[in-house]
Chains A and B, each alone.
Chain A
C-alpha cells in the first residue's frame, strides 16, 4: 500500500536554529497538509497546500513557518527560528481529494527543541 514518508524520524535542535522537515506524499495526491501533536495533546492543523500555494493556515502557522514543494515529490516544512514550544511530533498528510477527506498521514518527525 502506498504511504507518506517523513524524514527524519527524530530531530533535535537548539533554540533559534532553523529546521526543515521533509515529506514525500503519495505520488498521485494533490493535497498536502502539516499537522502537529504536542505530547499528550490533540492533533492540531498547521497548514494545507494545493496547486503550489497555501490553501489555509492556522494561527500556529506564523511567520516563522513556511512550506514548499521544491520538486514533484517532496513537501517540506521549515521553521526559521525554533522555540522551545515548537517541540512536538509533526505529521505530514496527503490526499487525492480536497477538504481534508481521506487523509493519509506519515509516521511523523519528533522535533525536540533544547
Chain B
C-alpha cells in the first residue's frame, strides 16, 4: 500500500521526441506527488510536483498528468534533449505522515 510502481525501468528517446514515464499507486491517502531528476554522481533534484486536486501541471517542457480515479500519474518531457538524459524518480507522500515513498526510477537516454 505504501508503494509507488514506476515504469519503464529504462527509456530511449530520440532528440525532439516526447519522453513519458508512468507511476501508479494504491494508497488513496497520498496527497503530494513530486518528480525528481538525478544525474550521475548527484543527489535527486526536484523537477515538478502536483497535488491531487488538479489533473495537470506544466513547467516549461515538463508536464505531470494526474489521474486520480486510476491512481496513476505520469511525467511528460516535451522536445526531449540529450541534456535530459538522467534517472527520473516519481514519489508520493501520505497525508498522515510525511516521508516520501519513491519509485524505483527510470533511466532516460535521449539520443541525437
Cross-chain contact A100 with B102 (CB below 8 angstroms): no
- B89 CB within 8 Å of chain A: yes
- Interface readout for B1-14 with A: 1 if CB under 8 Å, 0 if not? 00000000000000
Main secondary structure of the interface of B (DSSP, over half): strand
Cross-chain contact A48 with B98 (CB below 8 angstroms): yes
Give the residue name and chain of the A residue nearest to B101 (CB).
Answer: A45
- The interface on chain B, measured as residues whose beta carbon lies within 8 A of the other chain's beta carbons, has a size of 22
Give the residue name and chain of the B residue nearest to A44 (CB).
Answer: B102
Contacts known (A42-B102, A42-B104, A55-B98); A101 close to B43, Cβ less than 8 A: no
Cross-chain contact B104 with A41 (CB below 8 angstroms): yes
- Interface readout for A62-88 with B: 1 if CB under 8 Å, 0 if not? 000000000000000000000000000
List CB contacts (< 8 Å) of A17-43 with chain B.
Answer: 33, 35, 41-43
Give the residue name and chain of the A residue nearest to B95 (CB).
Answer: A99
- The interface on chain A, measured as residues whose beta carbon lies within 8 A of the other chain's beta carbons, has a size of 25
Cross-chain contact A100 with B89 (CB below 8 angstroms): no
Q: Please give the distance in Å from A14's CB to the nearest CB on chain B.
A: 25
Contacts known (A4-B43, A43-B89, A91-B44); A101 close to B102, Cβ less than 8 A: no
A33 to B91, CA, bound (A): 15
| A interface, CB within 8 angstroms of B | 4, 33, 35, 41-45, 48, 55-56, 58, 91, 93, 98-108
